[in-house]
Amino acid sequence: MPANDNRIDTRDWSLLALLSILWGGSFFFNGAALRELPPLTLVFLRVALGTAILLPLLRMQGIGFPRSVAGWMPFLAIGLLNNVIPFSLIVFGQTFIPSGLASILNATTPLFTVVVMAVADEETLQMRRVAGVALGLAGVIILRGWGFETRAGQGLGILLCLGGALSYGFAALAARRLLKDAAPLGAATFQLMVSTVMMAAVAGTVEQPWRLPMPTLTTWLAVLGLAALSTALAYIVFFQIVRRSGASNVMLVTLLIPVTAILLGWLVLDEPISMREIAGAIVIGSALLVIDGRAFGLLRRGA
């Protein structure tokens, strides 16, 4: 039977905002690193360095490795759907389209997640959530604008990024079914470990990274930011939200990413905020209230 949607409490809204900052930075780090590194090599470095950062923490917490092949299988599935496929598709997509357009396409993730969960009979397809996600996507388009330059292969880039968003939807389903009781730190580390093995094989076969020239310090800093912030820390937060509020709710982070990017530009870089961006943020905020559902409960009680 489909499960009812979990509500999101104040703590998890805060965690979603933090995750939106961490994952939002991945588009910037990808754009910087892709100037010198091929896509698959970049994905391999991202998951490998993320694993190296998390392994000492895993040991400090006394969390042991799965003791059988069957114990590793859930993390193999999550690593494939949550890392290997979407990271590779989105990074390849960013070689054809601008980062801003990629972030808009990434915001379709909650829509794919809602549909995947309903088809798999995990959650009821509530029109409130569908309408809220569609409204949020419209808000992202308003906030970002659609004035992107035309590039060769842009259609392919759009399809690749949409494929990454769809893969995240299936990853949410897998996380809900396979990782109900996994500790967030363990789940984050184990999925990155198996992703590292898979990406080592793929990148080694296709791009042979050992033959590449040594990247500059700027590129290494971008890779380190991608691995430490947008991967290692981000996945600890991700699995914490999955454990508390559910897999569908955590994917709402993709609607928040463009908003936090605008706010960070304003706070850190002193960039002006336009009326279009304010309007888009208001629409996204309204969409999140619709998805959460408690606003309707308050209105009914008030009436």
Tens digit of each residue's pLDDT (9 = 90 or more) over 270-299: 667 778 777 877 887 777 777 666 555 545
Our count of domains for the chain comes to 1
Between CA 207 and CA 91 the distance in angstroms is: 14
257 located within any domain? yes
4 located within any domain? no
Tell me how far CA of residue 61 lies from CA of 56, 101, 110, 184, in angstroms: 9, 40, 32, 11
1 located within any domain? no
Tokens 């389903």 found at: 173
DSSP at 122:
S
182 located within any domain? yes
Q: Is the pLDDT of residue 148 over 60?
A: no
State the pLDDT confidence band at 181, using cuts at 50, 70 and 90. Answer: confident
Q: Name the more confident of 86 and 13.
A: 86
3 located within any domain? no
Residue 260 neighbours by CB under 8 Å, 6+ apart: 17, 20, 21, 24
Between CA 184 and CA 242 the distance in angstroms is: 9
Q: What value does the mean pLDDT take over residues 135-144? A: 76
280 located within any domain? yes
Q: What pTM, to 2 d.p., does this model score?
A: 0.80
171 located within any domain? yes
Between CA 50 and CA 21 the distance in angstroms is: 17
Domain with 218, as residue range(s), is 10-302
State the pLDDT confidence band at 1, using cuts at 50, 70 and 90. Answer: very low
Q: Are 200 and 79 in contact (CB under 8 A)?
A: no
2 located within any domain? no
